[in-house]
Amino acid sequence: MADQTLENLSTEERRFEPPADLAADANVKEEAYDRAASDREAFWGEAAERLDWGQRWDQVLDWSNPPFAKWFVGGTLNAAVNCVDRHVDAGNGDKVALHWVGEPEDDTRDITYADLMDQVCRAANALTELGVQKGDRVAIYMPMIPEVVVAMLACARLGAPHTVVFGGFSADALASRVIDCGAKVILTADGGYRRGAPSALKPAVDEAVAKVAASGVESGVEHVVVVRRTGQDIAWDDTRDVWWHDVVDAASAEHDAPMHDSEHPLYVMYTSGTTGTPKGILHTTGGYLTGTSYTHWAVFDLKDDDVYWCTADVGWVTGHSYMVYGPLANGATQVMYEGTPDAPHKGRWWEIIAKYGVTIFYTAPTAIRTFMKWGDDIPAQHDLSSIRLLGSVGESINPEAYIWYRKNIGGDRTPIVDTWWQTETGQIMISPLPGVTAGKPGSAMKALPGISIDVVNDEAESVGNGNGGYLVIREPWPAMLRTLWGDDQRFIDTYWSRWDGLYFAGDGAKLDNDGDIWLLGRVDDVMNVSGHRLSTTEIESALVSHPKVAEAAVVGAADDMTGQAVCAFVILREAAGDGGPDIVEDLRKHVAKEIGAIAKPRQIMIVPELPKTRSGKIMRRLLKDVAEHREVGDVTTLADSTVMDLIKSKEGSSSED
What minimum distance in Å lies between the beta carbon of 84 and ligand ATP?
27
What minimum distance in Å lies between the beta carbon of 474 and ligand ATP?
17
- Three-class SS string for 356-369? HCCCEEEECHHHHH
Q: Which is nearer to ligand ATP, 104 or 506 (CB)?
A: 506
What is the three-class DSSP state of 306? coil
Query: Residues near 372 by Cβ (< 8 Å), separated by ≥ 6?
Result: 400, 401, 404, 550, 551, 573
Q: Which is nearer to ligand ATP, 85 or 424 (CB)?
A: 424
Q: Compute the distance between CA of residue 274 and CA of residue 613 in angstroms, rounded to an integer.
A: 6
Q: Which is nearer to ligand ATP, 179 or 259 (CB)?
A: 179
Q: Which is nearer to ligand ATP, 118 or 418 (CB)?
A: 418
CA 471 to chain centre: 18
Q: Which is nearer to ligand ATP, 251 or 505 (CB)?
A: 505
Q: Which is nearer to ligand ATP, 374 or 420 (CB)?
A: 420
Q: Which is nearer to ligand ATP, 274 or 564 (CB)?
A: 274
What minimum distance in Å lies between the beta carbon of 318 and ligand ATP?
8
Alpha helices in 323-445 (DSSP H): 326-329, 348-356, 365-374, 377-380, 399-408
What minimum distance in Å lies between the beta carbon of 615 and ligand ATP?
6
Q: Compute the distance between CA of residue 340 and CA of residue 334 in angstroms, rounded to an integer.
A: 18
Parallel, antiparallel, or unpaired: how do β-strands 162-164 and 138-141 relate?
parallel
What minimum distance in Å lies between the beta carbon of 162 and ligand ATP?
18
Q: Which is nearer to ligand ATP, 341 or 521 (CB)?
A: 521
What minimum distance in Å lies between the beta carbon of 609 and ligand ATP?
18
**CA nearest neighbour of 621 among 606, 637, 609:** 637
Q: Compute the distance between CA of residue 483 and CA of residue 420 in angstroms, rounded to an integer.
A: 20
What minimum distance in Å lies between the beta carbon of 130 and ligand ATP?
31
What minimum distance in Å lies between the beta carbon of 128 and ligand ATP?
32
Q: Compute the distance between CA of residue 495 and CA of residue 63 in angstroms, rounded to an integer.
A: 16
Kindly calculate the radius of gyration of the chain based on its CA atoms and give it in whole angstroms. 24
What minimum distance in Å lies between the beta carbon of 267 and ligand ATP?
14
Q: Which is nearer to ligand ATP, 334 or 535 (CB)?
A: 535
What minimum distance in Å lies between the beta carbon of 223 and ligand ATP?
30
Give contact residues for ligand ATP (rule: CB under 6 A). Answer: 271-276, 278-279, 317, 393-396, 418-420, 422-423, 444, 505-507, 519, 522, 615, 617
Q: Which is nearer to ligand ATP, 276 or 580 (CB)?
A: 276
Q: Which is nearer to ligand ATP, 3 or 634 (CB)?
A: 634
Residue 380's CB is within 10 A of a number of other CB atoms, namely 11
What minimum distance in Å lies between the beta carbon of 537 and ligand ATP?
7
* Residues 157 and 124 sit within 8 Å (Cβ to Cβ): yes
Q: Which is nearer to ligand ATP, 199 or 422 (CB)?
A: 422
Q: Which is nearer to ligand ATP, 108 or 275 (CB)?
A: 275
Parallel, antiparallel, or unpaired: how do β-strands 197-200 and 191-194 relate?
antiparallel
What is the three-class DSSP state of 398? coil
Q: Compute the distance between CA of residue 121 and CA of residue 254 in angstroms, rounded to an integer.
A: 6
Q: Which is nearer to ligand ATP, 230 or 363 (CB)?
A: 363
Q: What are phi and psi of 592, to 5 degrees?
A: -60, -40
What minimum distance in Å lies between the beta carbon of 133 and ligand ATP?
30
What minimum distance in Å lies between the beta carbon of 110 and ligand ATP?
30
* Residues 262 and 72 sit within 8 Å (Cβ to Cβ): yes
Q: Which is nearer to ligand ATP, 93 or 441 (CB)?
A: 441
Buried b (16+ CB within 10 A) or exposed e, 416-455: bbbbbbbbbbbbbbbbbbbbbbebbbbbbbbbbbbbbbbb
Q: Which is nearer to ligand ATP, 271 or 564 (CB)?
A: 271
Q: For helices 536-544 and 583-594, what crossing angle results, to 10°?
A: 120
Q: Which is nearer to ligand ATP, 198 or 506 (CB)?
A: 506
* Residues 134 and 252 sit within 8 Å (Cβ to Cβ): no
DSSP assignment of 211-250, as one string?
Answer: HHHHTT-SS---EEEEE-SS-------TTTEEEHHHHHHH
Peptide bond preceding 449 in cis form (omega within 30 of 0):
no
Q: How many residues comprise the chain? A: 657
The CA-CA-CA angle for residues 298, 302, 308, to 5°, reads 125
Q: What is the dihedral angle through the alpha carbons of 622, 624, 625, 629, rounded to the nearest 10 degrees?
A: 150
**CA nearest neighbour of 96 among 308, 384, 315:** 308
Cα→Cα distances 99→104, 190, 307, 360, Å:
15, 22, 9, 14
What minimum distance in Å lies between the beta carbon of 32 and ligand ATP?
21
Q: Which amino acid is at 186?
A: I
What minimum distance in Å lies between the beta carbon of 258 and ligand ATP?
31
Buried b (16+ CB within 10 A) or exposed e, 60-89: bbbeeeebbbbbbeebbbbbbbbbbbbbbe
Q: Compute the distance between CA of residue 85 and CA of residue 81 in angstroms, rounded to an integer.
A: 5
What minimum distance in Å lies between the beta carbon of 636 and ligand ATP?
12
What minimum distance in Å lies between the beta carbon of 598 and ligand ATP?
23
